[in-house]
Amino acid sequence: MISTFIFDWSGTLSDDFDMVYGATRDVIFQLDGGHALSEEEYRQHFELPYMNFYRNYGLVCTKKQVDDLFFKAVEKNGIFPTALPGSRELLEGLRRQGRKTYLFSAHPVHLVEREIADFGYGALFDGIEAGIVDKVVSLKQFVARHRLDPKKTAYVGDLVHDVEAAKAAGITSIAVFSRYQEKTKLKKAQPDVCINRLDELLQL
Protein backbone atom coordinates (compact mmCIF):
# COMPACT_ATOMS: atom_id res chain seq x y z
CA MET A 1 0.00 0.00 0.00
CA ILE A 2 1.19 3.49 -0.83
CA SER A 3 1.67 5.47 2.37
CA THR A 4 2.94 8.72 0.83
CA PHE A 5 1.68 10.63 -2.20
CA ILE A 6 3.75 13.42 -3.73
CA PHE A 7 1.70 15.62 -6.05
CA ASP A 8 2.46 17.80 -9.02
CA TRP A 9 0.39 21.00 -8.98
CA SER A 10 -0.46 22.34 -12.45
CA GLY A 11 -3.01 20.14 -14.18
CA THR A 12 -2.96 17.63 -11.32
CA LEU A 13 -4.57 19.52 -8.43
CA SER A 14 -4.90 22.99 -9.96
CA ASP A 15 -6.89 23.80 -13.08
CA ASP A 16 -4.49 26.44 -14.37
CA PHE A 17 -4.22 25.45 -18.03
CA ASP A 18 -5.92 28.60 -19.36
CA MET A 19 -3.60 30.82 -17.32
CA VAL A 20 -0.39 28.98 -18.22
CA TYR A 21 -1.24 28.41 -21.87
CA GLY A 22 -2.35 32.01 -22.31
CA ALA A 23 0.84 33.39 -20.80
CA THR A 24 3.02 30.97 -22.79
CA ARG A 25 1.21 31.96 -25.98
CA ASP A 26 2.04 35.61 -25.24
CA VAL A 27 5.71 34.76 -24.64
CA ILE A 28 5.96 32.84 -27.93
CA PHE A 29 4.15 35.67 -29.75
CA GLN A 30 6.75 38.17 -28.56
CA LEU A 31 9.84 36.00 -28.99
CA ASP A 32 8.89 34.26 -32.23
CA GLY A 33 7.87 37.09 -34.50
CA GLY A 34 4.16 37.08 -33.78
CA HIS A 35 3.61 33.31 -33.97
CA ALA A 36 0.13 32.42 -32.64
CA LEU A 37 0.58 29.27 -30.56
CA SER A 38 -2.54 27.08 -30.72
CA GLU A 39 -3.75 24.91 -27.84
CA GLU A 40 -3.17 21.77 -29.91
CA GLU A 41 0.37 22.85 -30.73
CA TYR A 42 1.02 23.60 -27.07
CA ARG A 43 -0.24 20.19 -25.90
CA GLN A 44 1.82 18.40 -28.54
CA HIS A 45 5.10 20.17 -27.82
CA PHE A 46 5.13 21.50 -24.25
CA GLU A 47 7.64 19.83 -21.96
CA LEU A 48 9.62 20.31 -18.79
CA PRO A 49 12.11 21.73 -18.05
CA TYR A 50 10.21 24.51 -19.80
CA MET A 51 13.28 26.18 -21.30
CA ASN A 52 13.62 23.10 -23.52
CA PHE A 53 10.21 23.95 -24.96
CA TYR A 54 11.38 27.41 -26.02
CA ARG A 55 14.73 26.19 -27.33
CA ASN A 56 12.99 23.54 -29.43
CA TYR A 57 11.37 26.44 -31.26
CA GLY A 58 14.84 27.67 -32.15
CA LEU A 59 14.49 30.67 -29.89
CA VAL A 60 17.60 32.25 -28.45
CA CYS A 61 16.47 33.53 -25.09
CA THR A 62 17.40 33.43 -21.44
CA LYS A 63 15.33 32.05 -18.57
CA LYS A 64 15.07 35.57 -17.15
CA GLN A 65 13.63 36.88 -20.43
CA VAL A 66 11.06 34.11 -20.54
CA ASP A 67 10.13 34.48 -16.87
CA ASP A 68 9.74 38.26 -17.09
CA LEU A 69 7.46 37.98 -20.11
CA PHE A 70 5.51 35.08 -18.61
CA PHE A 71 4.80 36.74 -15.26
CA LYS A 72 3.80 40.01 -16.94
CA ALA A 73 1.40 38.08 -19.18
CA VAL A 74 -0.12 36.24 -16.19
CA GLU A 75 -0.95 39.51 -14.44
CA LYS A 76 -2.07 41.25 -17.64
CA ASN A 77 -4.38 38.45 -18.77
CA GLY A 78 -6.11 38.29 -15.40
CA ILE A 79 -6.85 34.57 -15.74
CA PHE A 80 -6.60 32.78 -12.41
CA PRO A 81 -6.73 29.05 -11.66
CA THR A 82 -9.28 27.11 -9.69
CA ALA A 83 -8.91 23.89 -7.73
CA LEU A 84 -9.62 20.82 -9.83
CA PRO A 85 -12.88 19.11 -8.88
CA GLY A 86 -12.30 16.46 -6.27
CA SER A 87 -8.82 17.65 -5.27
CA ARG A 88 -9.83 18.82 -1.79
CA GLU A 89 -11.83 15.66 -1.14
CA LEU A 90 -8.85 13.58 -2.27
CA LEU A 91 -6.30 15.32 -0.06
CA GLU A 92 -8.60 15.29 2.95
CA GLY A 93 -9.45 11.64 2.31
CA LEU A 94 -5.82 10.57 2.11
CA ARG A 95 -5.02 12.34 5.35
CA ARG A 96 -7.98 10.70 7.07
CA GLN A 97 -6.49 7.40 5.95
CA GLY A 98 -3.26 8.37 7.72
CA ARG A 99 -1.28 8.86 4.53
CA LYS A 100 1.20 11.65 3.92
CA THR A 101 0.74 14.19 1.15
CA TYR A 102 3.44 16.42 -0.33
CA LEU A 103 3.54 18.97 -3.14
CA PHE A 104 6.48 19.00 -5.55
CA SER A 105 6.03 21.35 -8.50
CA ALA A 106 7.82 23.18 -11.29
CA HIS A 107 5.18 25.91 -11.06
CA PRO A 108 6.70 29.24 -9.88
CA VAL A 109 6.92 29.56 -6.10
CA HIS A 110 4.95 32.80 -5.75
CA LEU A 111 2.12 31.49 -7.94
CA VAL A 112 1.91 28.22 -5.99
CA GLU A 113 1.85 30.12 -2.71
CA ARG A 114 -0.89 32.44 -3.96
CA GLU A 115 -3.00 29.61 -5.35
CA ILE A 116 -2.65 27.39 -2.28
CA ALA A 117 -3.77 30.33 -0.14
CA ASP A 118 -6.71 31.03 -2.47
CA PHE A 119 -7.78 27.37 -2.38
CA GLY A 120 -7.22 27.06 1.38
CA TYR A 121 -4.98 24.01 0.83
CA GLY A 122 -2.06 25.00 3.06
CA ALA A 123 -2.88 22.55 5.85
CA LEU A 124 -3.34 19.64 3.45
CA PHE A 125 0.36 19.06 2.72
CA ASP A 126 3.15 17.70 4.91
CA GLY A 127 5.67 19.63 2.81
CA ILE A 128 5.76 21.90 -0.24
CA GLU A 129 8.47 22.57 -2.80
CA ALA A 130 7.89 24.61 -5.94
CA GLY A 131 9.89 26.30 -8.67
CA ILE A 132 11.69 23.02 -9.44
CA VAL A 133 13.77 23.37 -12.61
CA ASP A 134 14.30 19.67 -13.37
CA LYS A 135 12.21 17.12 -11.49
CA VAL A 136 14.18 14.18 -12.85
CA VAL A 137 17.20 15.49 -10.98
CA SER A 138 15.42 16.83 -7.89
CA LEU A 139 12.66 14.35 -7.00
CA LYS A 140 15.05 11.64 -5.81
CA GLN A 141 16.71 14.21 -3.54
CA PHE A 142 13.28 15.26 -2.23
CA VAL A 143 12.42 11.66 -1.34
CA ALA A 144 15.74 11.20 0.47
CA ARG A 145 15.50 14.56 2.27
CA HIS A 146 12.10 13.69 3.72
CA ARG A 147 13.21 10.12 4.51
CA LEU A 148 10.39 8.59 2.51
CA ASP A 149 10.29 4.87 1.75
CA PRO A 150 10.54 4.58 -2.07
CA LYS A 151 8.60 1.30 -2.01
CA LYS A 152 5.63 3.03 -0.37
CA THR A 153 5.84 6.41 -2.14
CA ALA A 154 4.20 7.58 -5.38
CA TYR A 155 4.45 10.70 -7.50
CA VAL A 156 1.26 11.88 -9.19
CA GLY A 157 1.56 14.11 -12.24
CA ASP A 158 0.14 14.84 -15.68
CA LEU A 159 3.27 15.16 -17.86
CA VAL A 160 5.82 12.76 -19.30
CA HIS A 161 8.42 14.61 -17.24
CA ASP A 162 6.54 13.65 -14.07
CA VAL A 163 6.62 9.96 -15.01
CA GLU A 164 10.32 10.20 -15.84
CA ALA A 165 11.02 11.90 -12.50
CA ALA A 166 9.20 9.19 -10.53
CA LYS A 167 11.10 6.44 -12.37
CA ALA A 168 14.42 8.20 -11.72
CA ALA A 169 13.54 8.50 -8.03
CA GLY A 170 12.66 4.81 -7.81
CA ILE A 171 9.07 5.44 -6.71
CA THR A 172 5.67 4.56 -8.18
CA SER A 173 4.67 6.76 -11.12
CA ILE A 174 1.00 7.69 -11.37
CA ALA A 175 -0.22 9.57 -14.43
CA VAL A 176 -3.41 11.58 -14.33
CA PHE A 177 -4.81 12.79 -17.62
CA SER A 178 -5.25 16.56 -17.99
CA ARG A 179 -5.47 19.30 -20.61
CA TYR A 180 -1.69 19.74 -20.64
CA GLN A 181 -0.59 16.68 -22.59
CA GLU A 182 -2.08 14.26 -25.08
CA LYS A 183 -3.20 11.02 -23.43
CA THR A 184 -1.36 8.85 -25.98
CA LYS A 185 1.91 10.71 -25.36
CA LEU A 186 1.57 10.29 -21.61
CA LYS A 187 0.82 6.57 -21.94
CA LYS A 188 3.96 6.07 -24.04
CA ALA A 189 6.01 7.10 -21.00
CA GLN A 190 4.72 3.86 -19.38
CA PRO A 191 3.62 5.08 -15.95
CA ASP A 192 2.99 2.39 -13.36
CA VAL A 193 -0.61 3.55 -12.94
CA CYS A 194 -2.95 5.69 -15.06
CA ILE A 195 -6.03 7.37 -13.60
CA ASN A 196 -8.85 9.44 -15.05
CA ARG A 197 -10.23 10.71 -11.72
CA LEU A 198 -8.43 11.84 -8.59
CA ASP A 199 -10.63 9.81 -6.27
CA GLU A 200 -9.18 6.62 -7.75
CA LEU A 201 -6.09 7.29 -5.62
CA LEU A 202 -8.03 6.58 -2.44
CA GLN A 203 -8.20 2.93 -3.47
CA LEU A 204 -4.45 2.44 -4.08
Q: What is the per-residue pLDDT across 145-171, written as a single tens digit (0 to 9) for each?
A: 999 999 999 999 999 999 999 999 999
pLDDT category at 59 given cuts 50, 70, 90 is: confident
- In terms of Cβ atoms closer than 10 Å to its own Cβ (0-12, 13-18, 19+), residue 193 is middle
Please give the Cα distance from 111 to 10 (Å, whole number): 11
pLDDT category at 9 given cuts 50, 70, 90 is: very high
Listing from the earlier edge strand, what are the strands of the sheet with 153-157? 127-129, 100-104, 4-7, 153-157, 172-176, 193-195
pLDDT category at 56 given cuts 50, 70, 90 is: confident
In the chain, count H helices and then E strands.
Answer: 9, 8
Amino acid at 92: E
Question: For the chain, what is the radius of gyration of the CA atoms?
Answer: 17
Across the range 119-124, mean pLDDT stands at 96
> Across all residues in the chain, what is the average pLDDT?
94
**What is residue 182's predicted lDDT score, i.e. its pLDDT?**
85
Please give the Cα distance from 147 to 142 (Å, whole number): 8
